[in-house]
Structures are given as structure tokens and as C-alpha cells.
Amino acid sequence: MPPQDVAPQVDVSALTTMLDGKYADLRQLVRKNLVEHADILVDAEELSIADFRKRVLDVVVMMAATGQTGMGFPKEYGGGGDIGASIAAFETLGFGDLSVLVKVGVQFGLFGGAILQLGTKPHHDAYLADLITGNLLGCFAMTETGHGSNVQALGTTATYDPETAEFVISTPDDSSRKDYIGNAANHARLAVVFAQLLIGDESQGVHAFVVPIRSDKGKAMPGVRIEDCGRKIGLNGVDNGRLWFDEVRVPRTALLNEYADVSEDGEYTSPIDNADRRFFTMLGTLVQGRVCIGGAGVNASKVAIAIAVKYGLIRRQFGSPGSGREELLLDYGMHQRRLFPLLARTYALHFAQERLSADLHEVFSHGAADHDRRALESRAAGTKALGTWHASNTIQVCREACGGAGYLSVNRFDALRADTDVFTTFEGDNTVLLQLVAKGLLTDYRDEFSDLDQIGMVRFVASAAVETVVEKTNMRALLERFRDVVPGGDDGEDQDAGLLDPEYQLSMLRWREDHMLAGVARRLKSGMDRGGGPADVFSNCQDHVIGSAWAHVERLVLEAFVEKIAAMPEGPNRDALNLLCDLYALSAIENDRAWFLEHGRLSNARAKSVTAMVNDLCTKVRPICAELVDAFDVPAEMLRAEIIAPTS
Amino acid sequence: MPPQDVAPQVDVSALTTMLDGKYADLRQLVRKNLVEHADILVDAEELSIADFRKRVLDVVVMMAATGQTGMGFPKEYGGGGDIGASIAAFETLGFGDLSVLVKVGVQFGLFGGAILQLGTKPHHDAYLADLITGNLLGCFAMTETGHGSNVQALGTTATYDPETAEFVISTPDDSSRKDYIGNAANHARLAVVFAQLLIGDESQGVHAFVVPIRSDKGKAMPGVRIEDCGRKIGLNGVDNGRLWFDEVRVPRTALLNEYADVSEDGEYTSPIDNADRRFFTMLGTLVQGRVCIGGAGVNASKVAIAIAVKYGLIRRQFGSPGSGREELLLDYGMHQRRLFPLLARTYALHFAQERLSADLHEVFSHGAADHDRRALESRAAGTKALGTWHASNTIQVCREACGGAGYLSVNRFDALRADTDVFTTFEGDNTVLLQLVAKGLLTDYRDEFSDLDQIGMVRFVASAAVETVVEKTNMRALLERFRDVVPGGDDGEDQDAGLLDPEYQLSMLRWREDHMLAGVARRLKSGMDRGGGPADVFSNCQDHVIGSAWAHVERLVLEAFVEKIAAMPEGPNRDALNLLCDLYALSAIENDRAWFLEHGRLSNARAKSVTAMVNDLCTKVRPICAELVDAFDVPAEMLRAEIIAPTS
């Protein structure tokens, strides 16, 4: 596709409809609910923490009454029976106050999700109807002070007492106190507590138990100690707390027993024999939380970029002497450079997120093979990491792009940056998540070997050997010329050729991913061959591991974007998305061009062409940037920002 | 210098003494004052904005009574008569609550500095003694809503009325209201107002006037409208406000007349004929503010990195299965990678800042030639940009490195990141400052031409020509081999050779700077040759311009660090600083290795060696990292963080 020289005439409302997708009506309901409670954005600044927590709870309960927050639960308990819808509703909350969003996530996603996924019919009958309305509030007590990402190492114990047929829940030390638990400090009556299940002298690993922590009157239950985590960087409408259990007894039926059970006389049974596999299966059912947070990050990014773009189209500064008028910020190439690649990446992540939600809906609505579940979990982990890092980065860049005005709370960046900051480290620390992604990919390699897929194996080993040679010689560029069979190879006169071909872009991202993964596999193998333990060997190439996972997810994101566009009818909206897709792909390549250069996959001249093309694409986005942010349809009340209402 | 294989035994107190430098006693006084008022860190979270503003003012006035804040004023008015001391005192405030720091900066640096530098003896006699004690509070009313970095385009007017020998101060429109003015919303009685001086029909450009804005009782003066900017991302102990002037009359003597005056009958005189030069001379006298903010950023970074390093030495996570104990965070290579290059850069920027303060002290205490003043202003602008970006980045990385715990306000990152965030865009937006730096460097090029320094000119043109050739051919790597005469060239077997030689490191940073600047000069020249206006041409290569300035400042920082170490006696502290200096230099090169690769200055293999060496240096810093952060001597009360007091 040749670069367009005339800006496409974007049809904003058609683009919004496309972005909103299958659940457009539900997303409009959430927008309406957000606007109705818009003054919570001011309350977040003005109320005391105690009052703001109450206010957020009120809004959550009011939203629950509209059906918006219960979409993922079975209809027989008052839910909507549609998992995809629950994600769409949650994502859309990302336009508004994020304490509300996180409170919804805690109550309906984490607490409700654990009851639904890990519990069985008696638990569903006992709790679901009330928790869907917000009558019964709960929390999800997994994380401990000393055990965050390493859930298998939790210290809390649940010891089965066959005398009374009860579990005894205990906190052995302060590093095993439950920490940062949303809803715990004030509102939750129940906790789903993750603890090491002990029967006799034997540990059966981590399981989940329903434990009452607070009476109807709000008083802590006997044996339960609750502490408030206090003020946080953001999300101060969510009451995070700490929990200690001092021999708290709960009945045998408190075990959420979908994946394992204990009989009255203390016999442990599970449909899944392998303890590790059981643990990861249980955790895997909770994947929806990650999917939701990633989507929220993408939507929070839309708010930030909409404000910064609109400001850049109003505010003038400097300019040609004698012209009598200063230049619009967005007429500076550098300003376009700051914002437009982020805008493009926001679109790309939106479509990657849409694809992920569809996969989740499919797997959880109709069941799936292990391999598909594993693929879903990997995609969810990776998309969450990239989506939330993107949010942090975008919000910060947009705040700086609005200068001093961006520093005023009224202009939204205050709450956006404070509230989203923890997204990168909660629901799975991003760096840990990318390691999970990489482990999954390496397992695929191992499968390839063990399945004796000769061609795949030979290809793998051969290319590894070639690369070793290539990296050892200065003939790299020469070899590259022969190997480079994709359109727009690095040699020849026209350094731009093929840069805008999605096949070329995809081939670059695929090559990087394959090459990085093969490199990690080699390093792991040679580390093991030298007698290192698997954990040490893995830890020694952690940055390489994380790089591979990043490369993998960026490739998935590009594929999702390219596929989406391929399915669109010809027209200006497709042209506009093509521009953004090119900008996403080429700026991803540009950002990692050191790696492509080091590995002989870009020549120096070609690397410079990539940079020049990114600049060129930015100038092409310039005439349609207002339409592209309007298409997000962030309600004006959620943008709030004073600065985008022009003065005098 | 060969890599050390045994960790140096750092003498912490000697290292602190060295870091504290010439003003060690004063820095200790400030530490003592900070500890005395340590509960302000809690007040910042708990008090209402109105109460916190009062509290901050009280602390500032109490500190003023210890002499700490008046060091830069002449002794005859109660000051300390030592400019270097005033910077040292201010920087050290960076360990504590930053509203206090900024309030000090506004009152004594901006307001007091303007009276001192732009005013003459009558102004000094009238105001200095009272402003030094904090009895007379003032503000610095330069920035306008629509005119931030572009001060020459300010809209506020000061029209001379020869009838009454008064200036009439007016705000023509809302985009010319004074905005974000610290001390304006509540406390300032006087404002130094920057306005276009109009005499008859003629504009004389921007000048500064002392304008009473508030009575002793705190009421706005007639014709002055004051509005509160409201809540901000951080620094909520500083009362930022907006000012409008409706024909406010001030006497002729209200003009701060060091650089220009108006006689009673309206005759304008100035010792500086050229209006541009006059304007930049006036602004130049205010350079101390930038120097101070850069230093504050570096010290705020020290607080963040001290907490993150201490946490990483306590907190364990994951680890080898069966080892029975999880690993310390800082025993993960990736965690070292996140923190140690930032630790090294913090040290590097500390010494660059020390050098800058010494230059400032020299220029302002003993006068200097224009060229030296210009060099100082450029160094100040560049160091401020790099120091404050470093603070934002370091604080964010450190917060993420502390996971969920880092998100709790009690652990300090909340205030650190919120308060420092605006450092990158106030006292000169960083991107604008780097453009100033680049303009200065290009002027040096022009000087070279106009001075007919034949050798320099030939060298410049020749090298430009060579580079053009080099970039057009695939023989780049070959040529590089011949041209590379510094130790550790890119060819040969040992890819590590010379990486740790400071001469090699400096040559890399110098080469980048020269090459980039020459490139900018070429682009400017060819743009002008094609008939473009200077402003457009400059704007078109803005990213290139900013890149050159960045390269220039990173080189200055490395030089300052290398010089400092060269003057040290042999010993373990010198060895430790050498490690940090290598780490700073090589991670700077690594961060920009795409550029070095694209320009044939690093081979692929050599680039990978740089990365490997950075990893290696990180493992060498690991055994001494606690000592290296202890040497900053951040008072324990300022670290505050609960997380670094181990639980159970």
C-alpha cells in the first residue's frame, strides 16, 4: 500500500462503532453510568479517605443495580451470563474514576470470580445472588507481605481438624500476613483466603477458603486482626487492608472445592493428580482479572491521549518571528513524535485486547483443551503487561506534553497517573508475567523436540547454527543480503521499499521473536549442560527471557491489528487505521532498532529509513488526529480537563 | 584499569564527606533542620491543603531563622554572602518534603533573586532584610497561561504614564493571566511582575516590576484579581495562583532597574543596546533557580534509590527449589540492572552538579566574561534537564522495584514522584532547555567560522564530508577499523579491550556529540540554502537538535565524574567510584547503542560486549551497594519507609 498523500476523511461515529464492537450497547450503558456519577472525579480530590471510600462503594452498588457489573455471572443468580460482556463493561470503566473500577474488580472479579470458578454449587447458592447486587461484600486474600508474585510460597496455613471437621486458618508470622487486600480494611464481610492446606503432617499446597472476617455490624470476627494499609499513591477510594488469622475455625465446606476436596475423615481428593498442575489450573481460572486490568489500562490511556491531543490543537507556543502568531504545539514535529506513536499503539493494543477478550469468552463459555487454555493465559499475561506499561508511559508523556497545566489535578492527569501506577505491579507483576509468557514459549520448543517434529527441529538447530556463525563474522551484512527474501530487503537503492507492507513488518517482529527465543533456548541448554540448576540458569538470562516475551507479545499485537484491518471494507476509516498500524509497527521496530542492528536484521541506512518513515507517518496522522481521539468516545465529563476548553 | 575482582571496602563516612564537599557543615545543618521538622512528611498526607500550606510556610520561616535559606544574600542585609552555600543548602532540602523546598525556592530564589539581581540599591534596602527573614513574602510572576517557555511573548503590559510618573500594569486577555505562580494564592504580599514595557507607542520588551498584590491583612489590592490554581499532582504545600491586573498603578521606582531605566519624562535607557541581548542578560541572572532545581532532583533521586536498594537487600522472592529459602531481590541480575545504572548515574550527576555550582559561585561572586556566563547558562540548562528527568525516571523505577509496598504513601514514593514530577517542566521545560543548549553550541560553530579559525573550519567541513561518504557506503565497518585509534578498537579478538578506559568512554561520548552537532549544522545549512526561514528550519530538525544537546550534557557529566576521580587519592573509595563511573559511561553508551551502531561507531559484537560489561559491573557493585547508598547520608527520618525496617 503506497503512502497516502491526502488525509483520509475519518467517519468518527463509524470508527467508534467499530471500536466498541460486539458490546457497543453495554459500553454505552457504562458511559451513561459514568456521566451520571461524574462528580466522583471531584470527590476523589475533596473528600477525606474515609468519606471517599464510602462514596466509591455507593457508586459501585448503584452501578451493580444497572446490571453492568454482574454480566459475567450465571443468569440464574441474577447475572448476565456473558463473560465477554463483563470484560467490555469493566474496560469501559477505565474512562472514569479508577477506584470505582478497582472496587468493581475486587468485588465481582476477584472475590466473585473465585467463588464462581473455584467454588461449587453450594457456594454459588450461598453467595452469588447477594454478591452480584453488592449486598454481600468480599475480598480476595491471596497476596502476603513477604509473598507477592510467588503464590506457591504463601505462609498462611489451613490445617484440617478431623475432630470437628473444620479448617483452622493461621498466620504464622508477619511476612505471611495478607497485605494490600482490596475491600479488607472497611467493607468486606467475607474473604476468600489462599492458604497452604495441611492434613495431618502433609501439605497439599495452596487452596482457597471462604472465611468470614467481619460481622454485619462491621466488627472484625474473633481471631481476625485487620489493619488499614493507609494512604496510597492512588486508588484511595479502595480500602486496602492487612489480615492476620489466629486459629480461626471454618467448616469443612468453606473449602472452595471445584478442584480438590477433603472428606470428613480427612481424605484429600482431586481430579487433578499433579500438585503443580492443580495449582496452576486453579490460578488459571482467575485469568479474567488480568484481562480486565489490561483493558482498563488501554482505556485509561485513551483518556490521557485525548486530552493531550486536544490541548496540542489549542495551545500555541513560539513560532516564526514576524508571523504574528505562535505555532500550535501539534504543528511541531517533535510534539507529533511524542504523541502519535502512543496514539497508534493505543489503537493496536485496543484490537489486541479485543482479540484476547474474544478468546477468553470462547474458552470460558465453551470449554477448551489444555493447550488453548495455556495459550489464553499466556496471551492474557503478555497483553496485561504491555497494556499497563503503555498506560503508565502514555499518561506520563501526555502530562508532560501539557506542561504546567498538566500538573493541575483538574486536568485529570493527577488521578490517571496515580491510580494506574500500580497496574504494572498488581494482578501479577509485569516482569514476572513476561517470564511466564517466555516459559510457555520455551515449553513449546520442548514440545517440538519431544514430538520429534524433525523438520521443525532441524530448522531450529540449523538457524541457530547459522546465527552463531553470522554473529561471529563481519560478513553479517553480506549474508543478510542473501537471506533477506521478504519484500523491501535491506540492499538496493530504495531504502523505503516495503516498509509499509504489513508482511514485511510482521516478518521483522517474527524474526526477532524466533531469534530471541532460540537464543534463550541455547543459553538455557548450555547452562544446564554446564551443570547449573534450572532456576539459576533461568535467572541468569532473565533479561533475555523477558525480551523474548516482549517480542512475542508485540508480534501478537501487530497480528491482531493487521487481521482487524484486513477484515474491514475499503474506505477512509480503513486507510486511517492502516496509517496507525504502520506507525505502531515501525515505531516498535524503531524502538528496538539497536537489537535489529546488532543482529544484522537492519542495515544502518535502513534503520534510518525506519526513523524517517515514522516521522512521515506522524505528519500524515496530524490532519486526522482530532477525529482519531474523538472516536474513542470518552465522555466529555470524563475528560474534564479545563485546559481543552479554550480561554479567551 | 583492570576490572576489580574483589569488592572495595568502602569507607562510608569518608565518602559522605567527599560528597558533601566544601559545604559539609551547612549540609549537616540542613539535615538537622529536616529531622527536626520530620513530621511534615506525615502532615503532607493528613492535613487539608489550606492547613498544609500554613504548615509549610511555618517550617520555611523557622528554617530561615537558622540562616539556612539566606546564604546567597549580601551579609549587610542579614544574608550569608556565599552563593555556593545557598545552592548546597537548597539541594540538601531535596531529601525532605519538597513543598518546603519549592516554597524556599520561590521566596528566596525567584522572588529574592529577582530583587537582588534585577533591582538596585533602593530595592535592596527596601526589601532584602525583610524577605530574608520571611517577614516579607513575595512571588515571581513571570509565566502566563498562554506563554510559558516563550517569555519574550508575554502579554502583560506595563505602560509608562509620564503624567504621574507611574507604570500601569494590565492583563489584556485570559491567556496573559499570570499562572502557576507559587506563593500567589495565599501568602505573597509583593509580586515581581514581568511585563512588556510600553513607553508611548513603543515596546521596549519584557521588564520586571515590583507590584503589591496583597495587603498586610491578606486582602487582594485594588485592581488585582487572584485565583487559586487548586489541587495539583504534588507540591500541595505551595499556594500556586493566578493573577490578573486591571490598570494597577505602581511608581516609576517599581521598575527593577539594574539593566534598564525610565526617566521621569519617559526616556528609556539601558547599558545594553541590543534588546535581545538585554532580555537574555536579565534572564541569565536568574540562572541560579535552574541550578537549584537540578540539584534538588539529584538529591530526591538519592532518597528513592536508597529505599529501593535497602528494600532489595531485605525482601526475598522465589529462588532455587529445595534451597528452603527465597532469593534476595538484589541477587537477581535483572533487579541489579534496574537499580545500579541509576545509582551510578545519580553519583555522576552529583559530581556534575558540584562542578556546576562551583562555576556559578565563581561567575556570580567574581564576575565573568560574556562567554563564561553563556557557558554557565548552557551547563545549568543541560544539567537541570538531565537531573530532573533522572529524578522522574529513578523514582518511578524504584517504586516499581518495591512492588505493592512502593505504592503505599508511607514508603515515600508517593510524595517523591508527585512532587518531583513538575521539575521536568518548570524553571524551563526540559525540551526547551535542551534546545537552548544546542543553540549555544551551534553559535560556537558559527563563531568558529566567523573567527576564520582555518584549522577548525577545515576540520569541521572535512569531517562532515567524511561522514557523508561513510554513511553512503557499506564500507563503513572497514573505514571504522582504520579510523578507530583509541584503545579497544572494534576489531581484533578482545571485544572488551578498553571498555573500562575513561579515555575510550570519553572519546565515544565526544564523537557522538561532535557528529550530531555537525549533522545538525549541515541540516540547518541545507535548510537555509533551500530558502527556509531559520525558525522553520530549526523546528524541522528539533529531535536532532535535542539529541545533540543531550549528548553534549552526558559528555560534560562524564568529564566531571572522571575529573573528580582523577583528583582522589588511591584507595577503596576511589575504586568504588571508578566502578560507578564505568557503569555510568557504559550504560549511557548502551542506552544509545542504536545510534552508535547506525553510525558505525560500534560493531555489533562490540555493542554486545558493552551490554555484557554493564552486567558485569552490576555484579561488582552488588557487594557494596548498601555502603554506596548509605554514603548519601539521607537521614533515616527522611527515608521513613516502613518497608526497609524488616518484619518478623
Mutate to test the interface with A, among B99, B318, B431 (most CBs of A within 10 A): B318
Q: Which of residues 405-444 of A touch B (CB under 8 A)?
A: 405-410, 413-414, 417-418, 421-422, 424-426, 429, 431
* Per-residue pLDDT reduced to its tens digit, A405-415: 999 999 999 99
Over residues A210-218, mean pLDDT: 95
Of A409, A426, A599, the CB nearest to B231: A409
Residue B180: strand, helix, or coil: strand
Give the residue with greater pLDDT, A159 vs A325: A159
Give the confidence band of A458 by pLDDT, cuts at 50, 70, 90.
very low
User: Which chain A residue lies closest to B604 (C-alpha atoms)?
Assistant: A598
- Read off the pLDDT band of A567 (50, 70, 90): very high
Q: What is the dihedral of CA B54, B57, B59, B64, to 10 degrees?
A: -160
Query: How far is Cα B70 from Cα A25, in angstroms, rounded to an integer?
Result: 63
Asked whether residue B491 carries a pLDDT value surpassing 50, the answer given is no
Is A182 within 8 Å of A238 (Cβ atoms)? yes
- Quote the minimal CA–CA distance from A146 to chain B in Å: 7
A564-578, A623-637, B77-91, B452-466: the lowest-pLDDT one: B452-466
In terms of Cβ atoms closer than 10 Å to its own Cβ (0-12, 13-18, 19+), residue B216 is exposed
| Over residues B470-488, mean pLDDT | 37
In the prediction, which pLDDT does B320 show? 54
Residue B53 or B545, more confident = B53
pLDDT in tens, B221-239: 999 999 999 999 999 999 9
| Rounded mean pLDDT, A604-625 | 95
Q: Identify the pLDDT of residue B554.
A: 98
- Indicate yes or no: CB of B404 within 8 angstroms of CB of A143: yes
Do A99 and A237 meet the contact criterion of CB atoms below 8 Å apart?
yes
Minimal C-alpha gap between B455 and chain A (Å): 31
Please report, as a single letter, which amino acid is at residue A187: H
pLDDT over 90 (residue A629): yes
β-pair type (B157-161, B190-199): parallel
Q: Does B319 lie at the interface with A, CB-CB under 8 angstroms?
A: yes
DSSP B292-332: HHHHHHHHHHHHHHHHHHHHHTT-EE---TTSSSPEEGGGS
Other beta carbons within 10 Å of B99: 27
Q: How far is CA B290 from the centre of its chain?
A: 6
Measured between CA atoms, how close is A624 to chain B, in angstroms?
20
Asked whether residue A481 carries a pLDDT value surpassing 50, the answer given is no
pLDDT, tens digit (0-9, with 9 covering 90-100), for B278-333: 998 998 888 999 999 999 999 999 999 999 999 999 988 876 555 567 789 999 88
Find all residues with CB under 8 Å of A440, minimum gap 6, and list them: A374, A375, A377, A378
| Per-residue pLDDT tens digits for B568-587 | 999 999 999 999 999 999 99
- For residue B492, pLDDT over 70 is answered with no
The whole-angstrom separation of Cα B302 and Cα B308 is 10
The residue count for chain B: 648
A620 near B CB under 8 A: no
Asked if residue B476 has pLDDT above 90, the reply is no
pLDDT in the model for residue B535: 67
Output the pLDDT for position A151.
87
Q: Give the DSSP per-residue string, A198-222.
A: EETTEEEEEEEEEEE-B-TTSPBPT
Taking an 8 Å cut-off on Cβ atoms, the answer to whether A318 and B424 are in contact is no
Q: What integer is the mean pLDDT of A125-146?
A: 97
CA quadruple A572, A575, A581, A586: dihedral, nearest 10:
-140
Query: Quick one: pLDDT at residue B452?
Result: 29
Say whether B647 and A174 touch across the interface (CB within 8 A): yes
Return the SS3 of A465: helix
Q: How far apart are CA B398 and CA B410, in angstroms?
A: 15
Handedness of CA B62, B65, B70, B73 (dihedral sign): positive
Task: Identify the pLDDT of residue A642.
Answer: 78
Residue A532: pLDDT over 90: no
Smallest Cβ distance to A425: which of B333, B400, B608? B400
Report which residue type is found at A416: L
Q: Among B403, B598, B647, whose Cβ lies nearest the Cβ of A597?
A: B598
**DSSP secondary structure string, A94-126?**
TTS-HHHHHHHIIIIIIIHHHHHHHS-HHHIII
CB contact under 8 A, B45 and A231: yes
- Asked if B422's CB is within 8 angstroms of A407's CB, the reply is yes
Contact flag A149-B399 (C-beta cutoff 8 Å): no
Strands A157-161 and A190-199: parallel
Question: Is the model's pLDDT at A472 over the cut of 50?
Answer: no
Mean pLDDT, chain A, rounded, equals 89
H-type alpha helices, B451-571: 454-472, 476-483, 502-529, 534-540, 542-566
Compute the half-sphere exposure of residue A284: CA atoms within 13 Å on the CB side of its CA: 23
According to the model, what pLDDT value does residue A442 have?
Answer: 78
Q: Report yes or no: B18 and B633 within 8 Å, Cβ to Cβ.
A: no
d(CA B603, CA B594): 11
Ramachandran angles phi, psi of A157, nearest 5°? -115, 150
Judge whether residue B451 has pLDDT over 50: no
Predicted ipTM?
Answer: 0.89
Report yes or no: B538 at the A interface, CB cutoff 8 Å: no
The confidence score (pLDDT) of residue A492 equals 47
Decide if B469 touches A, using CB distance below 8 A: no
Greater pLDDT, B466 or A437: A437
A484-500 pLDDT tens trace: 433 334 444 466 789 99
- pLDDT the model gives residue A323: 59
Q: Is the pLDDT of residue A452 over 50?
A: no
Tell which A residues from 240 to 299 touch B, by Cβ distance under 8 Å.
none
pLDDT in tens, A502-525: 999 999 999 999 999 888 888 877
Q: Could you give the CA distance from residue B59 to residue B37 in angstroms, rounded to a whole number?
A: 7
Place of cell 477512509: A572
Contacts with A143 from chain B: Cβ below 8 Å: 404
All three cell numbers of B266: 519617559
Shortest alpha-carbon distance between residue A402 and chain B (Å): 9
Contact A228, A243 (CB under 8 A): no
**Is the CB of residue A296 less than 8 Å from the CB of residue A94?**
yes
3-class SS of residue A368: coil
d(CA B384, CA B376): 12
Name the amino acid, one letter, at A507: S
Average pLDDT, chain B: 89
> pLDDT band at B377, cuts 50/70/90?
very high
Which A residues in the span 119-148 are in contact with B, Cβ-Cβ below 8 Å? 143, 145-148
Question: Is the pLDDT reported for residue A46 higher than 80?
Answer: yes
pLDDT confidence of residue A370? 84
- How many angstroms away from the CA of B280 is the closest CA of chain A? 16
Q: Work out whether strand A138-141 and strand A190-199 pair parallel, antiparallel, or are unpaired.
A: parallel
What pLDDT does residue B1 have?
42
Shortest CB distance from A231 goes to which of B147, B174, B409? B409
Residue A449: pLDDT band with limits 50, 70, 90: very low
- Which pLDDT score is estimated for B169? 98
Query: In whole angstroms, what is the distance from residue B107 CA to residue B192 CA?
Result: 11
pLDDT band at A434 (very low <50, low <70, confident <90, very high): very high
Share of chain A above pLDDT 70, in %: 90
CA distance B136 to A34: 47
Beta-carbon separation of A318 and B431 below 8 A: no
| pLDDT at residue B496, rounded to an integer | 78
B581: left (phi over 0), alpha (psi -120 to 50) or beta: alpha
Give the number of other Cβ atoms within 10 Å of residue B331's Cβ.
Answer: 16
Stretch A395-400: mean pLDDT, rounded? 96
Q: Does A533 touch chain B (CB under 8 A)?
A: yes
Distances (CA, A) of B521 to B256, B442, B525, B538, B557: 38, 7, 6, 10, 23
| Dihedral of alpha carbons A412, B174, B206, B122, sign | negative
Q: Which residues of B touch A648 (CB under 8 A)?
A: 173-175
pLDDT in tens, A338-370: 999 999 999 999 999 999 999 999 999 998 888
